Structure 1
Amino acid sequence: MNSPGSSRSGFDAIKNLYEEKRTFTGRVVFAAVLCLLMIGMLAARLIDLQLVRHDYYSTRADDNRMRLTPIAPVRGLIYDRNGALLAQNLPSFVLDITPERVRNLNDTLERLKAYVRLTDQDIARFRERMRKGPRYRSVTLRSNLTAEEVARYQLNRFDFEGVEVNAGLVRDYPLGESAAHIIGYVGGISEADYARLEAADYEGLSQIGKSGVERSHEDLLRGAPGTKIVEANAAGRPLRELESRPGSSGQNLYMSLDAQLQLVAEKALGDLDGAVVAIDPRNGEILALVSKPGYDPKLFVEGIDAASYRGLLEDKSRPLYNRALLGTYPPGSTIKPFMATAALNFKTVTPDTGIYCSGSMTLPGSSRKYRCHKRQGHGTVNLDSAIAKSCDIYFYQAAMNLGIDRIDEILGQFGFGKPTGIDVPNEKGGLLPSKEWKRRVYKQVWFPGETLSLGIGQGYLTTTPLQLAQGTARLAMRGLGFKPHVLHAIADPATGAIAGVAPEPLPPLTGQSAELQERVIHAMQLVTMFPGGTAYRAFKDAPYSSAGKTGTAQVVGLKQEETVAPTFDSTPKHLRDHALFIAFAPVDAPRIAIAVIAEHAGHGGSVAAPVARQIMDQYLLGKVLYNEDPAGAAAAAAAAADPALEAEEGVPTEDEEPPPATPPPAATPR
């Protein structure tokens, strides 16, 4: 048996003090190094936070405590030339959501439907807006809340974290459909809009001008956004407003439009589809611009629903289509004064040159008949009687003598074939055909018969109502003219200062003598002031002098074997002729020039001329003296027309010879 002493000596024998000491020392060193590394990392982080990136983290901390929120500017107002409101801002309750403060967005949106009316389109528009901005900024879910909706929400507002009802403004158009095509409307900012605009200019804004003046003068109307700094707690709830820097409101715009004249023009056109443009020839200001049918711009302010928008797009009458700027029509006989100007300019005729009208003519070597609208013919006509009675044969011959190149030259000077450059977007330029154009488009040569068709405003030639009005204004100004525009003046809401817009003069017509211009104008006076004129019935008792030209543009022409035109009632509406009329007044000191197009309405003298007469009455006299409904006049003219003949351009009148080329005395306008 081993003794206790021997057992202890054995334990000591297996104990390695050196190894234990080395192990312990290693552990201490490792722990020390680890501590030093951690202290070094902490020191490095402190240096980074406090020294290297102090400004960055200080800003981040302030951002967590203070929120920089954009303040949307007040959009400028739009007035007519007399101060009548055309576009305004109305107070509105707005439902805003701050996405960052909402835990379950889908649940919140679903629960909100119990208190506020929300459509799928509202939610889709909200998600689109939310996607484009930072989550800490509020996004509008719905505007224009009713008082009842606001009351229901406020009773339950504590159940909705991050949802607030705020006061806002909503765009409103007091005249509704009237002038909608020229004023336009605002709508939500789309991806395409964001791609072309400066994001900083639209901080806090959710809408932008989409059409008309609202779009073309967006930079003036928009204003500059402001900012406010709000202190928030750790949960993101606002505590107080630290600072506010208001932006600047948009400029108020005065349009050249006369709201009362616009309403009269729309009423005068009645139920007919078409367009009216009235322009001040002295400065190019648009006084009235009508496109019918129209639409209610309020539908687009908060976003139109898909069904309503599809209904507008599929409507065969095309209410969204601005006929005054986009509609291209054959000008018909309204082109004849411009053709007469070209013929006199190049001396292919004189004012007294007589041309015999038998009712039809043919080109040498051709059997194709080119007919006059009066099948039995007008007999021998000169410039005055040709324009007064709208003889087609005279202008067939005039066009043939001129040739397409010289026609292009003069009509181009009047502005046909290119946009006028009006300060409203989306304008078409019509078509002024030429030899080069036909060769490029159709790979064909120009034929003489096409020149004849051009002489009476048919064939390839198309114009917009605005181009016709501009051309008429240039006739009224004896070759001078101004670029059409709708902006009349700009008002600063901060100072009240109003700055007028200077008209932009156009180059004068070249090669036109004053004497020859007066002869064309005298002939146009015969249209409205002489008993044989095609618009005499509409203007015979007007207390002011006027000059005009009727037009009836064929949609479908007669076949060669046809000698009798179909009656108005027997022709399907979409195949009926367009009624046109151009005019200006007073003759010696023009103040207004007008172009009227009534689609598929018949004859210019019986339909379009009465529309122009009512507009001129309102503008020159302050009241309408002539109150004949154009649709009723068209029906009466159709019923009275001789079925054996193609109807005249106006209601048949006494077949008298025009007076000598001395303009009748001009009545003094009231």
Structure 2
Amino acid sequence: MKKKIKTKKLLILGALICLVTVIIGLTINFVLNGFNKIKPDEVLKQYMSFANERQYEKMYNLLDEKSKLENKKEDFVSRNKKIYEGISAHNISIDIKDIKKDEDEGTKINYDSKINTLAGEISFSNEVLLTKDKQKNYRIRWQSKVIFPELENDNKVLVSTLKAKRGNILDRNGEVLAGQGLASVIGLVPGKMSNNVEDLKKLSDLLDIPVEQIQKKLDASWVKENSMVPIKTIEKIEENPDGSVKEKDKSLQESLLSISGVKISNTEVRAYPLGEKAGHLTGYVQNVNAEILKEKKGKNYNVNSIIGKIGLESLLEDRIRGIDGCEIIIADRYGDKKETLAIVPKQDGEDIKLTIDSKIQSKLYDQLKNDKGCAVVMNPKTGEILSLVSSPSYNPNEFILGMSGDRWKELNENENKPML
């Protein structure tokens, strides 16, 4: 009897052990497949945190299998890198609004997103689908719409600079002393050039620029067969009312165009109509460099900005400078604007009128140009300055068009010190 009771107890104990084992197994399985599985909204947040950190391969790892079949890793990384870094995306944040589960499709998450960019903040509402993989992990069904809801797979995100106008410096009668003008750009189209090495030598002589410098421009990484490679900017090749070239420029134009691949086009430049007659008065502008950008950090200068170097161009810089704007758009497959994502409007510079009289300025310089000295014409009743002349002078247009090393040396070594 005692033996039977003992056996019964052992059977009960064994059953209890099996039951406990099953419970523990089920608990472990639930933990591994329940609590340890990242929720869909956490997967989306993790994806966006990787976007913030520019870890594009980690973003790709969170895509579902269908998305990976449709998007090669290198294509995905390249597209996201170009877009996010092209617009200087940072501080990407999302706010989950709604999570809907569908047995057939997966889990849809609606969220609001904010992205800081070089054109300000972009905010939008979006929706993303997440599906489960074989291990029951949530993964993102990716399309370009995940970046921006209006973005199709064949669309591009483009950034354009809205170029601001630098203000004019005017005399008392509204005549331009410094303002917008035109110059001629001499360029080469590689696909239309000949193999004749003498062509580059001829162009070098005509433009007073070394052959090595021309070749360096042609060898730039961005250059393609149909690219127009700017070689040098020169004074505008003037035309007559009937469209023909004026005699003074005719010979130069004919010589340039006789070289295979040469193209001549117009470009806007800062111009000084009085040239050396008002050189010291107006001063001139120059392109900003790394040192200036560092010095002017936070004042909306960029690599394409110009800045007043000396004279009134420098003195009036804060008033006449233009501050460029920026626009981020979605463009369709043909390059046409489909949607503006963010825009910072440009701010044109102020036009400033002086008390200077251009006619008096010119006349006074003509009388003084063969001497060393300076002269001032002032209205004694009002104190208005009508003319400021220093001789010898320099032509500020030379600095705008690009001065050769020999010409710069000539100016600086001139014993009459025209730059002073």
- Into which bin does the TM-score normalised by the smaller protein fall? 0.3 to 0.5
State TM-score, norm by structure 2: 0.48
State TM-score, norm by structure 1: 0.31
Q: Which has the greater radius of gyration?
A: 1
* Structure with the higher fraction of residues in strand conformation: 2
